[in-house]
Structure 1
Amino acid sequence: MNTIIKLIITAVVAYLLPNILSGVHVTTFSAAIIFAIVLGLLNLFVKPILDLFSFPITLLTLGLFALVINAIIILLADYFTDGIQIEGFWWAIIFSIALSIITSILENIFINKE
């Protein structure tokens, strides 16, 4: 049940963030749901591989390279999803930071820690 709640929270935030960020465009809420599913799958399967291979660079940059990896994952999810358009790498970084912060806050509010 928590997975479905996290998916809905991510979709809602991804749907509403383009109202604030001019470089991100989401056409429909169904596109945001598909984006959230694709993002979750990429975070599950691709991100650990990227984290493993980029560990030395991440260590050298004191963790800042993790932002680059998150932006790459966001751009991959954008590539695989119709109805979402992110206008470049910097918008992907800003979108990933905002998405992470807002979803973390909302998950702490809405998900039970039983």
Structure 2
Amino acid sequence: MGFILRLLLNALALYLLTQVYNGVSFAPGADVVSVVVAALVMGIVNALIRPVLLLLSLPINLLTLGLFTLVINGIVLWLVAQVTVLNVSGFGAAIVGAIVLTVISWLLDALVSALGLDGRRRV
């Protein structure tokens, strides 16, 4: 999937998250560019900071059979909210928001793949 399509899907997922879950919202007056910037920051944090957090939390992640990854995803969402127009009402809301965001992103990816918009050749 191309970078622009992935960025727009993530922006749509963030927007849908704010519509579905009240614990996460955008600041009043946030425009489309702000949503796309938040999605871009989310991608950067997921690419650079999340792997380090996962590596550092590996022992506790093993003890919890991977469930601590939900906390790491909440930390990532909370970090993104600290530097963008995204607002998270608390750390618990960040964890729940990260779970909901994961489900929304998975559904959007499945929809894009089903429609054949991901650029993959079907044989």
Q: Which TM-score applies when normalising by structure 2?
A: 0.84
2:5 is the alignment partner of 1:5 = yes
- Give per-residue Cα distances to partners, 1:46-100, cap 9 Å, x unaligned: 111111110000000010100000000111111111x211101111111111111
Distance in 2 (CA, whole Å) between partners of 1:49 and 1:78 is 19
State, as a whole percentage, how many aligned pairs show the same letter. Answer: 36
| Equivalent position of 2:31 in the other structure | 28
Distance in 1 (CA, whole Å) between partners of 2:31 and 2:93 is 19
2:112 is the alignment partner of 1:113 = no
RMSD: 1.4
Distance in 1 (CA, whole Å) between partners of 2:14 and 2:22 is 13
Distance in 2 (CA, whole Å) between partners of 1:49 and 1:97 is 20
2:73 is the alignment partner of 1:70 = yes
2:47 is the alignment partner of 1:40 = no
**Structure 2: which amino acid aligns with 1:63?**
G
Q: Contact 2:73 / 2:98 at 8 angstroms: preserved in 1?
A: yes
Q: Report how far residue 108 of structure 1 moved.
A: 2.5
Q: Contact 1:13 / 1:102 at 8 angstroms: preserved in 2?
A: yes
Q: Which TM-score applies when normalising by structure 1?
A: 0.90
Q: Contact 2:17 / 2:104 at 8 angstroms: preserved in 1?
A: no
**Structure 2: which amino acid aligns with 1:84?**
L
Q: Report how far residue 105 of structure 1 moved.
A: 1.8
Structure 2: segments with no counterpart, 5+ residues: 113-117
Q: Contact 2:61 / 2:68 at 8 angstroms: preserved in 1?
A: yes
| Equivalent position of 1:14 in the other structure | 14
**Residues 52 and 98 (structure 1), Cα distance of their counterparts in 2 relative to 1, 3 Å cut:** same
Structure 1: segments with no counterpart, 5+ residues: none
- Structure number with larger C-alpha Rg: 2
**Structure 1: which amino acid aligns with 2:120?**
K
How many residues were matched structurally?
113
| Equivalent position of 2:92 in the other structure | 90
